[in-house]
Each structure stands twice: as C-alpha cells, then as structure tokens.
Amino acid sequence: MRGGARFPVRLRYTKRGKVRFLGHRDLARNLERAFRVTRLPLAFSEGFSPHPKISFGLALTTGFESDAEYLDVDFREAVDLEALPAALSTELPEGITVADAAWLDDRAPALQEAVTAVVWEVPVTDQHGEPAGAAALRAAVSAALAAETLECTQVRKGRSTIVDIRPLIRRLAIVNQTDRDPRVLLMDLATVPKGAKPGEVMPALGPFTADRGVRTHQFIERDGVRYEPLDVDTRARVAHAVAS
C-alpha cells in the first residue's frame, strides 16, 4: 500500500477473568484473527512476508488483568468506528472486550514509545499467600516513599539484574484496609527509561508478593500533563488532562 491512503485507528480493550492467563503472543493471535473474521480492510506491510499493520502497546504480565489496554491498527479504507468495538468483541475470547476506538493521527508515535506511566491495583499477600497485614504494609509503603533507592531483581531474557526502581515510583497508596479483604495497593509507576512489574516491586517493599492485579490506566505525558492514549494523538476528540 505504498503511497496509498492510511486510516489508522487506536483501540482500547479490557482483559478480565480467566483470559488473564493468555500470554501476549496468544492475545495478539486472537486479536489478529478477530480482524480477519470480521473481514475488516486491514492494511498489510510490503515485502516477502506481509503482515497486518497492528502495533501493540506495553505487554501485560501473564496472570494480570487490565481495564486499559491499547493497540493501533492501520486500515486501507475507512471503517465504522461506532460499530467496530462490538464487531471485534464478538469474535474475541470471553473476557477480552474492545471498549472504544478513535481515529489516530498519521504521525502519532508508537504506543510503546508514547506511554510513560501506568497505574495498577494489586492485592498484596505475604510470603505464605495470606493477605498482608495492614500495619506492616503501611510501614513498608512509608519506608519505600522515604527511601532514596529501592532495589529489586529483574529477570529479562534469562538475565538477572539488580536495579533501583525508586525513580519509577510516582505514588503508592493502600486502597483497601478492611480486616476481611486483601490489602490492595495502588501503584503509579513510570515506564521510562525502563519499567517494573508489580511482582518485582512488592519484594522490594518487604516480605510481600503480588501474583495478580489490574492495570487500571496507561498515560501519555506531554509537558507535565497526563492524557489517556485515546485522548491524545487522535482525531475528532477533545484532549483532556487527567488529574495526577
């Protein structure tokens, strides 16, 4: 489609329930299948092995859920944006729902480059799998926020590295402190220059674990202002800042 018209679209979708155990590659295959089954006019790359022009955002850790996943896709002709979310959702596994769509600016940067912060809500357990004690968790959060450095072990491509994640932590807050329910920790984390997973952050705070949680927001930051990815670099939308 060299030199042809482009009709780029940004989608927001959710990933909830048992489908949280679906890995990123399997998720991508399911989404590409949904585009094919609905016979949408996907644009393809050129070359010996053409592939659909779909660009995914930050990969979601397997076992975690999300209310705010995004992808960008190019069509070779205009599509009905209002009908698009429902049409795709029908062909996706239960738990994956396309919630919204917007026309994307032609020169919009890739999602993986543009997103600079994410927010998680994570049930915190101790090393025995029991709900973390409220007092212990409060003390750990206070100590982490007061610390100049906070080291954790990251494993990437089979290599273990000790990294300081304190510069990545924008906010930590306990959002559930009832006696019966697990303690839920809100984590507001930067993703640049490199991000950290909730399961890496918790051991850095203390004797805690986090093997599930929900990514509630992703943000694109411009000049100190936060925007949802559907509200910036898109057309026919009025961009609005999100309170930090």
Long-range contacts of 50-54 (CB under 8 A, 24+ apart): 54/28
Which burial class, exposed, middle or buried, applies to 101 when counting CB atoms under 10 A from its CB (0-12, 13-18, 19+)? buried
* Whole-structure pTM value: 0.89
126 pLDDT band (50/70/90 cuts)? confident
Cβ atoms of 43 and 57 within 8 Å: the answer is no
pLDDT reported for residue 46: 83
Tell me yes or no: is domain 7-108 CATH 3.30.70.580. Answer: yes
Q: Check pLDDT > 90 for residue 18.
A: yes
Computed over every residue of the chain, the mean pLDDT equals 90
Of residues 165 and 175, more confidently modeled: 165
Q: What is the pLDDT of residues 28-61, one digit of tens each?
A: 999 999 999 999 999 988 878 888 899 999 999 9
The mean pLDDT value for 146-174 works out to 92
Domain-wise residue ranges, the chain = 7-108, 114-212
Sign of torsion, CA 63 153 120 116?
negative
- Within 10 angstroms of residue 84's Cβ, the number of other Cβ atoms is 19
